[in-house]
Chain A
Amino acid sequence: MQTFAALKKNLKKDYTGLVPLKLALLGDSATQLLSQALRGAAYDEGFDLQIWEADFGQVERQVFDEGSELYAFEPSIVVIFQSAHKLLGTYNKLKPEAFSLLADNRMDLVGNMYSQLKEKLNARIIYYNYTEINDAVFGSYSNKVASSFPFQLRKLNYRLMEFAAATPDFFVCDLSTIQNQYGKSAIFQSSIYINTEMVLSVDTLPEVAVKTLDIIKALNGRFKKCVILDLDNTTWGGIIGDDGLENIQIGSLGIGKAFSEFQYWVKKLQKRGIIVAVCSKNTERIAKEPFEKHPDMVLRLEDIAVFVANWETKVDNIRHIQSILNIGFDSMVFLDDNPFERNIVRDNIAGITVPELPEDPAEYLEYLYTLNLFETVSYSGEDAERTKQYQVEAQRAVLQKSFGSEDEFLQSLEMVSVVEPFTKFNTPRVAQLSQRSNQFNLRTVRYTEADIESMADNNAYAPFTFTLVDKFGDNGLICIIILKKESADTLFIETWLMSCRVLKRGMEDFTLNTIVNYAKDNGFAYLKGEYIPTPKNEMVKDHFKKLGFREAGSYWQLDVAAHENKKCFIVKKSNND
């Protein structure tokens, strides 16, 4: 973690070429140094974070006054920091009969602020939860007294989670976790607080800034999708090739507990949709043995999307894993106990995250917890299916080799696609896919669930979602096209994105046929497309050209009357069939 002084030095650096983002910071304590830490930390992540900071104690006024500077600034992110110390100050001044309403009253305020902000701004709200203060008025007995401050504070944190779970554009930044990790004496300094109204110690500011940026990065499509594991002394203790199946440390043998708990953590990540891959210098058959035969192994072969064990370099093997998964190196985490391997991978694969695991495996987990590697801004049921989908992809690759022509192969897959508009059932997945897709994404517009809901009700938009099922399995919802009615004769393709795991299946042609037919049926003459380049979407540079669109200035146009449906092997289905 950088020091505050180092982050502050970033403020003097050159910000040209960084991604600009406007952030409003509203706090009930002094936030000037936090603001500097945020901007400095954002520099390291490639953002030019332009921060407007409210005078302290102005949270409500700025939010509820429609003519306030906050709204004139038009931020895309609003960070609200209402501190536990000010909350305690509020509590102290209440009449005793009102003590037990503290949490509910604060939540009413939070809910009202959120509604007001969303009405005026197209912004995401990040709200810091409350660090714990036990005022020791009741001791542990406060757990039995609803009117006590600790009871109200914990209730408030719980209610914030409930509110966040039900409110798509409201994100809680977990300040309380930072206090748990570093201790109250590290994150709060009384002498500074008494003199300055600052509730965060100088040493904590970088932690808070980075934790906030983790959310901002995820909102901008930057999060981890895959963890790659070394095996010997990372996934289990000992060396399988030397020690043999019975002697590796896992479960109750030696320090096996450390590795078992590590594997449970990886398994939870896998269940929530993080792809798990293995990259090990080993003979494949020997490396797989514990996964198949060891009774104490938590991870099994079916949990591993790509298993690479051979004597090639890890750099080559990780490149190979990347080529199968088709995701960016910057969304991968590589865990290896060997500093030498870590350095080689770090030096040769730009963007990959390689944590400096502690020497003692007993410390792996606590260390990894502090890194908060897997921040996300969405979660849907389909995430858990992802490993299977990648494994199935490997099977398809094997089958493809056995067919003479591509058409024969595609026909054999028996593909069916459900085409639907946005519904309340697919909204979370649609929002998530818009945040995750980087490569096959023509304009890279990111949507929140709230954005999707509002488009679903808006006649100016014609949204399409596509699933793909074949004989090997269900890929789930893998493509989104959003058409905007630009004029009486033209539909503008505001978004066209697709999951890379269904490339080369004829999905591009199938989706084009679908939207062309929609245009014809609804009296439109043209489809208008646009390609906005990003560092990651070069794959679709010629997308419109390949599909027969004509270049028209910086746009692409298709005359739908002249379009003949392209041959494809996907059968269309709608859910009410």
Chain B
Amino acid sequence: MTREEILQVISKVFADTLDEDNIVLSESSKADDVEGWDSLTHVQLVVAVEKQFKIRFTAKEIQSWKNVGELIDSINSKL
């Protein structure tokens, strides 16, 4: 899977989980840039992404991402 493909998949996961159709994610997107992405919904997003890719993140990874690109790094390392 290319990074671009992963980005598209997680964009859809974010849209479903946050119930916001107009989410446009890029590698540089941060929580502050995305409507509805806060510390509470972060948990749901993590779990939803884990389910989508059938992977598990470590506790450290969950708190390490500064933007969507780093999330993609974590996903990529597990595929």
Inter-subunit contact A9/B47 (CB<8 Å): no
Query: Does A128 sit within 8 A of B, measured CB to CB?
Result: no
Query: Contact: B40 with A33, CB < 8 Å?
Result: yes
Instruction: Name A202's contact: one of B39, B47, B58 (CB within 8 Å).
Output: B47
**Contact A194 B44, CB 8 Å, known A5-B16, A5-B17, A8-B19:** no
Q: Contacts A5-B17, A8-B19, A194-B59; is A189 near B47 (CB within 8 Å)?
A: yes
Is A191 on the interface with B (CB-CB < 8 A)? yes
List the B side residues contacting A201 at CB < 8 Å. 47
Contact of A191 among B17, B44, B57 (CB under 8 A): B57
Q: Hey, which chain B residues are within 8 Å of A32, CB to CB?
A: 40
Residues of B within 8 A of A4 (CB): 44
User: Which residue of B has the minimal Cβ distance to A201?
Assistant: B47
State whether the Cβ of A554 lies closer than 8 Å to any Cβ in chain B.
no
Alpha-carbon gap, A439 to B43, bound state (A): 46
Q: B63 on the interface (CB 8 Å rule)?
A: yes
Chain B min CB distance to A261 (Å): 35
Contacts of B40 in A (CB 8 A): 32-33
Min CB distance A308 to B, Å, is: 46
For chain B, the count of residues having a C-beta within 8 Å of the partner chain is 17
Q: Which of A5, A8, A12, A195 contacts B62 (CB 8 A)?
A: A195
CB-contact partner of B46 in A9, A33, A192, A194, under 8 A: A192
A33 contact set on B, CB distance < 8 A: 40, 43-44
Is A190 positioned at the interface, with any CB of B under 8 Å from its CB? yes
Q: Which residues of A contact B19 (CB under 8 A)?
A: 5, 8-9, 12
Q: Is A196 interfacial (CB-CB < 8 Å)?
A: yes
> A195 touching B63 by the CB < 8 A rule?
yes
Q: Chain B nearest CB: distance from A183 CB in Å?
A: 15
Q: Say yes or no: A191 contacts B62, CB within 8 Å.
A: yes
Residues in A whose Cβ lies below 8 Å from that of B39? 196
- Residues in chain A near residue B16, CB distance under 8 A: 5
B56 in the interface, Cβ–Cβ < 8 Å?
yes
Task: Give the distance in Å from the alpha carbon of A12 to the alpha carbon of B19 in the complex.
Answer: 10
From known contacts A5-B16, A5-B17, infer whether A190 and B44 are also in contact, taking CB-CB under 8 Å.
no
CB distance from B71 to the nearest CB of A (A): 14
Interface string of B44-79 (1 = CB under 8 A from A): 101110000000111101110000000000000000
Determine if A203 and B47 form an interchain contact, defined as CB atoms under 8 angstroms apart: yes
A63 contacts the other chain (CB 8 A): no
Chain A nearest CB: distance from B20 CB in Å?
Answer: 12
How many whole Å from B26's CB to the nearest CB in chain A?
24
Q: Which residues of chain B come closer than 8 Å to A12, judged between CB atoms?
A: 19
Docked pose: A32 CA to B40 CA in angstroms: 8
Decide if A558 is an interface residue (CB 8 Å cutoff). no
Chain A residues with CB under 8 A of B44: 4-5, 33, 202
- Report Cα–Cα, A201/B59, bound state, in Å: 14
Complex-state Cα separation, A8 to B44, whole angstroms: 11
| Proximity string of chain A (20-55) to chain B, C-beta cutoff 8 Å, 1 when within and 0 when not | 000000000000110000000000000000000000
> Are B63's CB and A192's CB within 8 A?
no
Q: Chain A's nearest CB lies how many Å from the CB of B66? A: 15
Residues of B within 8 A of A9 (CB): 19
Report which of A191, A196, A198, A203 forms a contact with B58, defined as CB distance below 8 A: A191
Nearest chain A CB to B63's CB is how many angstroms away?
A: 6
Contacts of B43 in A (CB 8 A): 33, 192, 195-196, 198, 202
Chain B residues closer than 8 Å to A202, beta-carbon distance: 43-44, 47
Tell whether, in the assembled complex, residue A190 and residue B47 are in contact, meaning their CB atoms are under 8 Å apart: no
Can you give 21 contacting A-B residue pairs, CB < 8 Å? A4-B44, A5-B16, A5-B44, A12-B19, A32-B40, A33-B40, A33-B43, A191-B56, A191-B57, A191-B58, A191-B62, A192-B43, A192-B46, A192-B62, A194-B59, A195-B62, A195-B63, A196-B39, A196-B43, A198-B43, A202-B47
4 further A-B contacts with Cβ under 8 Å, apart from A33-B43, A203-B47, are: A5-B19, A8-B19, A191-B58, A202-B43
- Across chains A and B, which 3 residue pairs bring their CB atoms closest together, nearest first? A194-B59, A191-B59, A202-B47
A residues within 8 Å of B by Cβ? 4-5, 8-9, 12, 32-33, 189-192, 194-196, 198, 201-203
Contact residues of B with A, CB < 8 Å?
16-17, 19, 39-40, 43-44, 46-48, 56-59, 61-63
